[in-house]
Amino acid sequence: MDVIVINGGKALSGTVAASGSKNAALPLLFASLLAEGEHRFDNVPRLKDIDSTELLLNHLNCKTHRTGHQLAVTVKAPEDPVAPYEIVRKMRASILCLGPLLARYGKAKVSLPGGCAIGSRPINLHIEPLQQLGAHIEIENGYVIAEAKRLVGERIVFDFATVGGTENIMMAASLCRGTTVLENVAREPEIVDLACCLRGMGAQIEGEGTSVITIEGVNELKPAQHSVIPDRIEAGTLLLAAAITGGDVKVVQCVPADLHALINKLSDCGFEIETGPDWVQIKACHQWQSIDIDTAPHPGFPTDLQAQFMALMTQASGASVITEKIFENRFMHVQELARMGANISQETQVAVVHGNKGGLSGAPVMATDLRASACLILAGLATAGETVVSRIYHLDRGYENLETKLAGLGAQIERRSA
Ligand code: UD1
């Protein structure tokens, strides 16, 4: 199994481009199930989660063909619209095929994804809204079994602004009879991208990016031609990598507005940030201080950058209170950072990081989830010794060539087969 080896302590500098967004690409690829024919997606990142999505689409009778960052998906009616456990267990986002399959083919059988390292992650906010749209749903032998002759539009109020739940119901409602009004929905940029793609397919959607989305169902959609938005979490991770090394880095091909919460926090710490239409530059800075963060749904501070921000706070002057409000168990990196010498006290969903510039030392550490892997790499970049990050298959799920991008900015980092 591969490991990432880092000899840190070097300030990063240069220009790096963000890849396409993983979290936008996944629902877009599942949206293809809403229309038979040839779809084309551009700016699709090369990631394990995209491979898993292709595998599931192939299982559902779709053909996929990749050319660089372009992915063509040819959709044909599946003989049996089943998403099996063997594929779903590799990637929770597979649940996003439920809404499209049900809306398009009147039935779907999708394995329950189960919990994951960062929390229990139920899917009640996917299931209940589909029931409100008229689906008959049962849970049997670890599978969600859903049926509906034709879904019918309804007013649905989400208990929580779930990203995946909003996406699943947006896709299903696009083929409903009548009008669906979704309230308290997620407002993430990935939701806006999905609405944009669905609209290109002929869906009638309004309100994406606000907390109310209205969808006028249509009888049929046409194949998508869509380019995936840049990955704001990857771009944010690269900015934090620059910050933690006192570097000067320009991240291009990104959307600065999507990084607003992170840019604000970095500015409040004392970092100098400049932005252009599609770039963000962080300037070398050695005098900066700690700040507190609470994770929250967009436009709040993203939970997907919490671990990487915590790595930065280990190098701050002062203490930082980090409150994780989205997932109940998303602090598994705390123990690994502690193995590198970080001083962090944690109780349930609050961690207090006592910053100490230069206080980390290289160590063998283990990635526990996707964003924790990035956190440990950032911590490694901040120490002069050798850090070896294992279990990096988590990293490969969601970052395209992160080590190559960091090496391009001057980091001493390499992938080795262990
Ligand atoms: C998506 C992102 C993930 C990000 C998360 C929050 C993708 C592929 N993944 O995950 O990277 O960390 O948003 O920004 O886009 N919940 C329920 N019931 C449900 C669904 C969710 O209680 O049916 C809870 C979850 O347990 C969690 C919270 O709602 O505590 C947020 O989850 P959600 O927004 O749905 O996250 P995902 O879509 O799974």
DSSP 116-167: BTTB----HHHHHHHHHTT-EEEEETTEEEEE-SS-B--EEE-SS--HHHHH
Q: For residue 158, give both structure tokens.
A: 């989400």
Which residue's CA is minimally distant from atom 26 of ligand 1? 121
Active site residues: 116
pLDDT of residue 118: 72
Q: Are 246 and 285 in contact (CB under 8 A)?
A: yes
Helix (H) or strand (E) holding 193: helix 189-200
Ligand 1 center to 164 CA (angstroms): 6
Ligand 1 atom at minimal distance to the Cα of residue 160: 29
Pocket-testing residue among 120, 127, 162, 262, ligand 1, by greatest number of atoms within 8 A of Cβ: 162
Return the ligand 1 atom nearest residue 26 CA: 8
What whole-number distance in Å separates Cα of residue 62 and Cα of residue 167? 21
pLDDT tens per residue across all 418 residues of the chain: 899 999 999 999 999 999 999 999 999 999 999 999 999 999 999 999 999 999 999 999 999 999 999 999 999 999 999 999 999 999 999 999 999 999 999 999 999 986 667 777 889 999 999 999 999 999 999 999 999 999 999 999 999 999 999 999 999 999 999 999 999 999 999 999 999 999 999 999 999 999 999 999 999 999 999 999 999 999 999 999 999 999 999 999 999 999 999 999 999 999 999 999 999 999 988 889 999 999 999 999 999 999 999 999 999 999 999 999 999 889 999 999 999 999 999 999 999 999 999 899 999 999 999 999 999 999 999 998 999 999 999 999 999 999 999 999 999 999 999 7
How many angstroms is it from 303 CA to the middle of ligand 1? 10
Alpha-carbon span 112 to 313, nearest angstrom? 37
**pLDDT for residue 114:** 67
Q: Which residues, judged by CB distance below 6 Å to any ligand atom, belong to the binding site of ligand 1? A: 23, 26, 93, 119, 121-126, 160, 162-165, 186, 190, 303-304, 326-327
What count of other Cβ atoms lies within 10 Å of the Cβ of residue 416? 9
Q: Which residues pair with 77 in a beta bridge?
A: none
Report the nearest-CA residue for atom 11 of ligand 1: 304
Residue bearing the CA closest to ligand 1, atom 31: 162
For residues 258 and 22, the answer to whether their CB atoms sit within 8 Å is no
Ligand 1 center to 162 CA (angstroms): 5
- What tokens were used for 397? 């799920």
Q: How many CA atoms lie within 13 A of 14 on its CB side?
A: 12
Q: How far apart are CA 310 and CA 374, in angstroms?
A: 11
Tell me how crowded residue 157 is: count the other CB atoms within 10 A of its CB: 12
For residue 122, the CA-to-ligand 1 centroid distance in Å is: 9
The residue assigned the tokens 């705390």 is 334
As to burial, measured by CB atoms within 10 angstroms (0-12 exposed, 13-18 middle, 19+ buried), residue 348 is exposed
Whose Cα sits closest to atom 5 in ligand 1?
Answer: 163
Strand partners, 71: 41, 66
314: buried, middle or exposed (CB in 10 Å: 19+, 13-18, 0-12)? buried
Nearest ligand 1 atom to alpha carbon 126:
23
Which residues does 355 contact at the CB level (< 8 Å), separation at least 6?
290, 313, 314, 315, 316, 317, 318, 319, 320
Residue 242 CA to residue 318 CA, distance in Å, equals 20
CB 175 within 8 A of CB 218: yes
Q: What is the Å distance from ligand 1's center to 63 Cα? A: 28
The overall longest dimension of the chain from CA atoms, in Å, is 63
Cα(408) to ligand 1 centroid in Å equals 33
DSSP 8-state class, residue 228 = P
- Predicted confidence at residue 284, as pLDDT, reads 86
According to DSSP, residue 247 is labeled: -
Residue 252 structure tokens: 């291009």
Mutate to test the pocket of ligand 1, among 30, 95, 160, 298 (most ligand atoms within 8 A of CB): 160
Predicted TM-score (pTM) of this structure: 0.97
Distance CA 377, CA 310 (A): 12
- Residue 413 tokens, joined: 């980092």
Which residues, 6 or more positions from 62, have their beta carbon under 8 angstroms from its beta carbon? 32, 33, 73, 74, 75, 76, 78
Dist CA 236 CA 232 (whole Å):
6
Sign of the Cα pseudo-torsion (256, 164, 151, 197, in order)? positive
